[in-house]
Structure 1
């Protein structure tokens, strides 16, 4: 019985430690919404795919990087729109990404292809995956 109680206390202490994480230890998600100049979608898509691949390969704090095509309810692509979702382990990993030496060149390449760029940074409050 004593082993069971001590084991239960250890599990509870681990749970409390996980839930008491400071904000800088919470995952950071970045969502980028692009409105693309007409006829430039494929060029931008190629650049973003390569950037996503390199980010995941080179930055251990990047947990996920997705390049997304917004679609209508019927599944058809919304023209001249692309999105990114990026998930970083914590604020330190997101800050490291922001300092990546590839970013100035990347931004210089993509900004002429855009009509608009909206970046939203978030801290994950809850996350459920299968």
Structure 2
């Protein structure tokens, strides 16, 4: 079974970023706690060429165990409430759904307990 990804790009209405972040942070936490099929739920803020956060711009990066986990998430009454709460805060929203081509990439890399100065570089 392939993992499914949901990426959502948001641009908030100026002056509403803090409220957006508060709602999305709570939503991300509850999704991870309540939906076992949710493997990852991140709220990111893009940066410009100088590494500075881009005002009013956000990306949600979600990873689900499979299509049925995405369908469970989409049927969640909480998701409908979150979308309604975000509507007056958001100028634009772009949704991207995809299937993982290489589903085990999350299992690769350095484990936290193996991090040390020898890994730098």
TM range (shorter): 0.7 to 0.9
Length, aligned pairs only? 106
Give the structure 2 partner of residue 19 of structure 1: none
Structure-2 separation of matches of 1:103 and 1:52: 10
TM-score by length of 2: 0.85
User: Which stretches of structure 1, 4 residues or more, deviate above 2 A after TM superposition?
Assistant: none
Consecutive unaligned residues of structure 2, counting only runs of 5 or more, are 110-121
Task: Give 1:124's aligned residue.
Answer: 100
User: Does residue 1:75 correspond to 2:51, yes or no?
Assistant: yes
Q: Where do residues 2-17 of structure 1 align in structure 2 (5 Å cutoff)?
A: none
Q: Distance in 2 between matches of 1:47 and 1:120?
A: 20
- The residue number in structure 2 matching 1:36 is 12
1:94 equivalent in alignment to 2:58: no
Structure 1 length as normaliser, TM-score? 0.79
State the secondary structure of the residue aligned to 2:59.
Answer: strand
Tell me how far apart the structure 2 counterparts of residues 111 and 28 of structure 1 sit (CA, whole Å).
25
Distance 1:41 1:112 in 2: 11
5+ long unaligned stretches in structure 1: 1-24
CA distance in 1, matches of 2:87, 2:75: 18
Corresponding position: 1:49 with 2:25: yes
Partner-residue secondary structure (3-state), 2:41: strand
